[in-house]
Structure 1
Amino acid sequence: MMMVIAIKSCVIEKVYTKFMQKRTIGLIGGIGWASTHDYYRLLNEAVAARMGVEHSARIILTSMNQYDFAARVEQTVPQTIQQFIIQEGQRLKAAGADFFLICANGAHRFAADVVPKIGLPFVSIVDETAAHVQRSGIKKVGLLGVKPTMTGNFYHRTLADLGVETIVPEAADQDILHEIIYSELVHNRVEENSRKVFVDIIDKLQQRGADGVILGCTELPLIIRQSDVNIPIFNTTEIHCEAAIKFAFED
């Protein structure tokens, strides 16, 4: 009888181990807290779906203060903001994170310089989103976000390598989007008039040939839903969380 119980216990343990979270998720949160709140919710919901409602995700979070981040970005020496992000990542590593994410699209423009100096495996929101777009079969995609994301090349280059063309709003619309993100969304304010502005800009991108649109700011899913527009949207927050969960559980 004792042998049977031992065998059953061993089987149960193997089954549990197969579905358990194997790596602790590290999050460099911010730049606005509202989108980081969504990361925490989505990651925990995903773990509960895999392991049962009595389970939650193993997460270590360090949150960038928006003011501190912006002040360093404005300085002409790039090492200032790079070192700021590196320090946040090293805090995660010291606290026991097994890999990490940066919960902001725009901050990924610094990834190439900061990730090697943190010394943890990294799940890139840009790489994961680009892979989703490629798998969708879309060849021309619109990109929304803060101005450094829309005018930068880190999304454009990654998508181009996968055979996808990227288009962005006209300069005046970029200014409007940037202002709404920083004056409203990062403070968890969602205005219906602003939603209409986003929808109109997405319509313009569609008229220019975009077959889908990347919500290239983790605050944008707060204001834009798939039901608001006629082309597929790529919710970078959800995509990033799905990739994190996959890496956290895989052998």
Structure 2
Amino acid sequence: MRKLGMIGGMSWVSTHTYYECINRYVQKRTSPMSSAPLLIESLDFAQLYGLREASDWQRAAQTLSESAKRLEGAGAEQIIICANSMHRVYDDVAASVSVPILHIAECVGERMAKDGVKNAALIGTRNVMTESFYRERLVKHGVDLPAPEVQNVELLDRYIYEELMVGKATRDAERALKTIITKKAQDGAKAIVLACTELELVVDTRANVLPIYDSARIHCEAAAEWIIAG
């Protein structure tokens, strides 16, 4: 099996999901005693939280690029960034190393194109929902994404950053997400892209009013497939 490098810590909750999901997938596809060969750089999210200004994102790009270089130097043959929002600096990070970096939105877009999904609602942090770096990759795969409602952006950001990223899942957040998804279905969405790993703490991805494309799970499966293809 090939060795995968993981840039994590954004948040530790997300990284835990990635570690477990990749290992379970590898175990299922190979043997009960198998473990995925992984290198993990767990960054301090306190240094990468609440980025707004261009200078903040430049600092984040440098931090993730340095992490990618360390993983490459330690023997990683491919790298993943264990956070949807940090793919905003994907191009800078990918340019800093010679090994490939598996883009989360590309994995999601390919899965949706394979399933023939043409219309979906994107749910995640503010920058994922409103900026082009993530949306454009899904649109490229033929997925129409309506613009997000401002009130949902504010609500989701609060729940994600104040609760879910510290491992706290509340009934209020669960009810809020259920209401948002139900409204998206009423508005004509045919699927939901769950573009924040921590949201699975309050969203039942297997039993919902719409098909849920869980970005982290899809990313993990693609990474695990790459690992065992070696």
TM-score bracket for this pair, using the shorter chain length: over 0.9
Which residue among 4, 10, 13 is the counterpart of 1:34? 13
Contact 2:205 2:212 in 1 (8 A): yes
Q: Secondary structure at the match of 1:56?
A: coil
The amino acid across from 1:76 in the alignment is A
Runs of 4+ in 1 over 6 A off after TM superposition: none
In the TM superposition, 1:201-240 aligns within 5 A as 201-240=180-219
In structure 1, what is the equivalent of residue 163 of structure 2? 184
Residue segments in structure 1 that go unaligned for 5+ positions in a row: 1-20
Shift of 1:62: 0.3
Q: Secondary structure at the match of 1:247?
A: helix
| Identical aligned residues as a percent | 31
Shift of 1:75: 4.5
Aligned equivalents of 2:24, 2:61: Cα separation in 1: 32
Contact 2:27 2:35 in 1 (8 A): yes
Shift of 1:227: 4.7
Aligned equivalents of 2:150, 2:161: Cα separation in 1: 17
Which residue among 109, 114, 119 is the counterpart of 1:130? 109
Contact 1:156 1:165 in 2 (8 A): no
Aligned equivalents of 1:175, 1:118: Cα separation in 2: 35
In structure 1, what is the equivalent of residue 69 of structure 2? 90
Q: Secondary structure at the match of 2:7?
A: strand
Contact 1:125 1:236 in 2 (8 A): yes
The amino acid across from 2:175 in the alignment is K
Larger Rg: 1
In structure 2, what is the equivalent of residue 162 of structure 1? 141
In structure 2, what is the equivalent of residue 59 of structure 1? 38
Change (3 A) 1:151 1:110: same
Shift of 1:242: 0.7
The amino acid across from 1:189 in the alignment is K
The amino acid across from 1:149 in the alignment is V
With 104-113 and 224-233 compared, the bigger mean Cα shift is at 224-233
Shift of 1:70: 2.1
Which TM-score applies when normalising by structure 1? Answer: 0.87
Which residue among 92, 96, 112 is the counterpart of 2:91? 112
Q: For the aligned residues, what is the CA RMSD?
A: 1.5
With 113-122 and 229-238 compared, the bigger mean Cα shift is at 113-122
Which TM-score applies when normalising by structure 2? Answer: 0.94
Shift of 1:163: 1.7
Residue segments in structure 2 that go unaligned for 5+ positions in a row: none
Aligned equivalents of 1:80, 1:170: Cα separation in 2: 29
When you count helix as a share of all residues, which structure comes out higher?
A: 1
Contact 2:84 2:196 in 1 (8 A): yes
The amino acid across from 1:82 in the alignment is A
The amino acid across from 1:140 in the alignment is N
Q: Secondary structure at the match of 1:61?
A: strand
